[in-house]
């Protein structure tokens, strides 16, 4: 990573010429210059020195009338999927960069490199070599806001190091910002009148904060034109996010004094609603502990303020700057823990659910950096008419999900708003059946829709029960779901001697029961009961639907000889 290639070298150039240039620009090097015809190599002691040489010399310094080209030296066998892009405009938004990179292929990671230059540098890894090569060809030298991008290969060390243990701490593969963010960004709301002071003259203040805290900061000035507050997104390590947040609070306080603004300026954090229930804790214990430990007063915006397109809650923290900063650390620590545990469960189970498109589900903050939670990838209701992403069974399914009777109000929401939004979001019909008697402990939610809609609707219902503290902070939400199967197929779900149902239970960790001696209903169907946490229930439902699909295929009548064969089913 620290070996440099120097190109466009004059035939007259000598080792002494390079010694002089590196000395003049105070760039350390750890070995002699290897000068060849038209090019040279040199080793630098660390990545910082290598980056300085590239930034200071490449395309800027002449030797014997020729402009030197300096880049990382990468052997051809290592020219695989990883590129470094330099000279990126300093105010470029992450989302613009991401969409530009995505034109050439699937970006597996994109991490910012800290440099002393005004322009930004990122290391990008594509999923395939040809994608990286295409990006290299198209982007190198291309103009962006009057800046010419410089693109070069860098060693992709991850393949080499996997066999030998973990990568070195200087490895570019460490701390990458993957598409599903390994560490969710910090989102802060600031009064619009302070945005100018945070940016500073010609962007000097924000540039300084970025450099000091090793963070990437996006100020969404164009969002909500005319609004009294603007969101700021900070990408960094947890420590970098906290330092940037504290600095922004200090700038706002100074600006308030200078402009004789007398109102208190609280810290306002934006947190995705999926994590707020766990942040609050049972009977508010987690939140009370943070308030007591930090000496702050914390309030959270009501659920009614949520919309499909704004799934964030505003967490308002009041107190001195130091106390607010400590509270931010605690709030985000809890949020990150929730996020990581959800993603771990999601990834573990998605491997077992064929074709499950995690990005289309909109269950977690979007992977689009800088944009905050986005529901843009959620298909509208009715968009499931074609083949769903669950492996070709777009038929509508009906699931009866049983929830605590006391939770019905929370699922319906004020004037039915929550259940309407949920139905719209999932693309499913969601109805709550009447109570079966005065003292019924449970109520049945009837969900009708294709598999992806079922996944989304049920996930939100499980999540809502957790948020509203119907289950303890360390208690998993476990519910019972019923699906109806044709009575002639029940035996296939059970299997010979209960073999299939036992395998189902072992694979999914759900309890699956086909009650014996059931009387089939008017449609000749019987009930299969599935109990367990969300992913277990989902997996069991999918596996049972696979069995039913097989049964249906086998039940299709075979064409009699001499008759016209039926048209083949659409795949």
Instruction: Tell me the CATH number at 283.
Output: 3.30.310.210
Give domain status of residue 366, yes or no.
no
Do 403 and 550 sit in the same domain of this protein? yes
The answer to whether the predicted template modeling score (pTM) of the entire model surpasses 0.75 is: no
Q: Is position 207 within any domain?
A: yes
Q: How confident is the model at residue 195 (pLDDT cuts 50, 70, 90)?
A: very high
Whether 75 shows a pLDDT value over 90: the answer reads no
Same domain for 105 and 243: no
Q: Total structural domains in the chain? A: 4
How far apart are the C-alpha atoms of 504 and 511, rounded to whole Å? 9
Residues contacting residue 276 through CB under 8 Å, at least 6 positions apart: 300, 313, 315, 467
Asked if residue 298 lies in contact with residue 315, where contact means CB atoms within 8 angstroms, the answer is yes
- Return contacts of 277-285, CB within 8 angstroms, 24+ apart: 277/463, 277/466, 277/467, 277/468, 277/469, 278/334, 278/338, 278/466, 278/467, 278/473, 279/315, 279/331, 279/334, 279/335, 279/338, 280/467, 280/469, 281/473, 282/469, 282/472, 282/473, 283/469, 285/473
Choose the final residue of a domain: 111, 138, 153: 153
33 and 66 part of one domain = yes
Distance between CA atoms of residues 566 and 223, nearest Å:
55
Are 140 and 242 in a shared domain? no
Q: Could you report the per-residue pLDDT of 322-336, keeping only the tens digit for each? A: 999 999 999 999 998
Q: How many whole angstroms separate alpha carbon 4 and alpha carbon 389?
A: 46
In-domain check, residue 460: yes
Answer yes or no: is 219 within a domain. yes
Q: Are 205 and 297 contained in the same domain?
A: yes
Query: Percentage of the chain with pLDDT > 90?
Result: 27
Residues 92 and 66 in one domain: no
Ranking 20-29, 300-309, 395-404 by mean pLDDT, the lowest is 300-309
CATH number at residue 11: 3.30.70.330
Of 232 and 73, which is predicted with more confidence? Answer: 232
442 and 511 together in one domain: yes
Task: For residues 440 and 505, state if they share a domain.
Answer: yes
Stretch 181-191: mean pLDDT: 78
Average pLDDT over residues 60-87: 82
Q: What is the mean pLDDT of residues 452-457?
A: 86
In the listed set 341, 363, 378, which residue is the last one of a domain according to the structure?
341
pLDDT tens readout for residues 138-174: 898 888 878 888 888 887 654 333 322 333 233 232 2
Residues 484 and 528 in one domain: yes
Residue 92 shares a structural domain with residue 202? no
Q: Are residues 282 and 327 in the same domain?
A: yes
431: in domain? yes
Q: What domain range includes position 407? A: 397-555
Question: Is 39 domain-assigned?
Answer: yes
């Amino acid at each position: 990573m620290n070996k440099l290639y120097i190109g466009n070298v004059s035939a007259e150039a000598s080792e002494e010429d390079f010694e002089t240039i590196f000395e003049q620009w105070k760039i350390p090097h750890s070995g002699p210059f290897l000068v060849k015809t038209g090019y040279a190599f040199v080793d630098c002691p660390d990545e910082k020195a290598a980056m300085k040489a590239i930034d200071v010399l490449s395309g800027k310094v002449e030797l014997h009338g020729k402009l030197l080209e300096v880049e990382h030296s990468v052997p051809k066998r290592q020219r695989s999927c990883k590129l470094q892009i330099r000279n990126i405009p300093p105010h470029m938004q992450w989302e613009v960069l991401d969409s530009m990179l995505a034109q050439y292929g699937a970006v597996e990671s994109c991490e910012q490199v800290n440099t002393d230059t005004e322009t930004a540098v990122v290391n990008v890894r594509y999923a395939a070599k040809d994608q990286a090569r295409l990006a290299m060809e198209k982007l190198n030298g291309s103009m962006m806001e009057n800046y010419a991008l410089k693109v070069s290969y860098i060693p992709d060390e991850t393949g080499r190091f996997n066999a030998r243990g973990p990568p070195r701490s200087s490895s570019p593969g460490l701390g990458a910002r993957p598409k599903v963010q390994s560490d969710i960004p910090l989102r802060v709301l600031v009064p619009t009148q302070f945005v100018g002071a945070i940016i500073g003259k010609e962007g000097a203040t924000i540039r300084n904060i970025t450099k000091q805290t090793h963070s990437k900061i996006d100020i969404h000035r164009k969002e909500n034109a005319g609004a009294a507050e603007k969101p700021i997104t900070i990408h960094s390590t947890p420590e970098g996010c906290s330092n940037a947040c504290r600095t922004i609070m200090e700038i706002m306080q100074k600006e308030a004094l200078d402009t004789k603004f007398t109102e208190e300026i609280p810290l306002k954090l934006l947190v995705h609603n999926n994590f707020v229930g766990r942040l609050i804790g049972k009977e508010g214990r987690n939140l009370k502990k943070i308030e007591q430990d930090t000496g702050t007063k914390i309030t959270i915006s009501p659920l009614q303020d949520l919309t499909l397109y704004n799934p964030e809650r505003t967490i308002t923290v009041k107190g001195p700057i130091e106390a607010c900063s400590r509270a931010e650390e605690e709030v985000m620590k809890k949020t990150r823990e929730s996020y990581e545990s959800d993603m771990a469960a999601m990834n573990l189970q998605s491997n077992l659910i064929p074709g499950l498109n995690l990005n289309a589900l909109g269950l977690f903050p979007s992977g689009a950096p800088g944009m905050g939670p986005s529901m843009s990838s959620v298909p509208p209701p009715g968009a499931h008419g074609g083949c769903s992403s669950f492996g070709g069974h777009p038929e509508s399914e009906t699931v009866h999900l049983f929830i605590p009777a006391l939770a019905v109000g929370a699922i319906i929401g004020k004037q039915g708003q929550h259940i309407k939004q949920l139905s719209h979001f999932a693309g499913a019909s969601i109805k709550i059946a009447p109570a079966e008697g005065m003292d019924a402990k449970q109520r049945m939610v009837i969900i009708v829709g294709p598999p992806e809609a079922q996944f989304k609707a049920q996930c939100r219902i499980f999540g809502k029960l957790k948020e509203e503290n119907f289950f303890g902070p360390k208690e998993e939400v476990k519910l019972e779901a019923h699906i109806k199967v044709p009575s002639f197929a029940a035996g296939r779900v059970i299997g010979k001697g209960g073999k299939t149902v036992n395998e189902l239970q072992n694979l999914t960790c759900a309890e699956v029961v086909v009650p014996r001696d059931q009387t089939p209903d008017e449609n000749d169907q019987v009930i299969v009961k599935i109990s367990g946490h969300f992913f277990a229930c989902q997996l069991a439902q999918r596996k049972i639907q696979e069995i039913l699909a097989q049964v249906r295929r086998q039940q299709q009548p075979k064409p009699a000889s001499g008759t016209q064969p039926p048209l083949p089913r659409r795949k």
